[in-house]
């Protein structure tokens, strides 16, 4: 019987070529959707039946958030896009989910990601909160490790 217990994450790692380039506390947006195309078909007695079929496949943007630090890798990556170097900015890699013991518990591989947005930090000097920076990745596809990649014909 498959394990049906939900997994609890402590942090997420962003990797390129097997090298960890960033650790994040929050990751949202991993997913895809298909547009729904409806078409009507006429029956023998003049009635119509509406069929729904999958249309264009779209990959959601991924948002990663972390406490700001002196690490500048994400800012340098975003600068490539700002400078118009999009071919250099596109990267294949993965996002790994880790538990509190630091053991990897899930992984998603992505294709042709580039940072479409970088925001940071959001915090208030009135309290002791950590400043949070956020990066949004635009991807051309991803798949969860252990699941077959989508056909990209």
This prediction has a pTM of: 0.81
Measured CA to CA, the distance from residue 132 to residue 24 in angstroms comes to 10
What whole-number distance in Å separates Cα of residue 129 and Cα of residue 118?
20
Of 122, 124, 119, the closest CA to residue 134 belongs to 119
pLDDT of 81-122, one tens digit each?
999 999 999 999 999 999 999 989 999 999 999 999 999 887
Other beta carbons within 10 angstroms of residue 42's beta carbon come to: 9
Average pLDDT of span 124-148: 84
Cα separation, 77 vs 56, in Å, equals 29
Domain boundaries, the chain: 11-144
Q: What is the pLDDT of residues 15-71, one digit of tens each?
A: 998 899 999 999 999 999 999 999 988 877 888 888 999 999 999 999 999 998 898
Structure tokens at 5: 């217990």
On whether the 11-144 domain is CATH 2.30.110, my answer is: yes
């Amino acid at each position: 019987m498959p394990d049906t217990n939900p997994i609890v994450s402590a942090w997420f790692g962003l990797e390129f070529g097997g090298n960890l380039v960033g650790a994040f506390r929050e990751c949202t947006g991993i997913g895809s959707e298909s547009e729904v195309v409806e078409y009507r078909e006429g029956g023998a007695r003049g009635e119509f039946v509406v069929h729904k079929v999958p249309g264009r496949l779209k990959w959601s943007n991924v948002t990663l958030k972390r406490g700001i630090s002196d690490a500048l890798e994400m800012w340098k990556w975003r600068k490539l896009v700002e400078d118009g170097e999009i071919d250099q900015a596109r990267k294949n890699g993965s996002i790994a989910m880790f538990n509190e013991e630091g053991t990897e518990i899930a992984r998603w591989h992505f294709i042709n990601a580039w940072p479409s947005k970088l925001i940071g930090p959001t915090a208030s000097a009135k309290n002791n909160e950590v400043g949070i920076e956020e990066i949004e990745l635009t991807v051309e596809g991803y798949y969860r490790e252990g699941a077959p990649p989508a056909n990209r014909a």
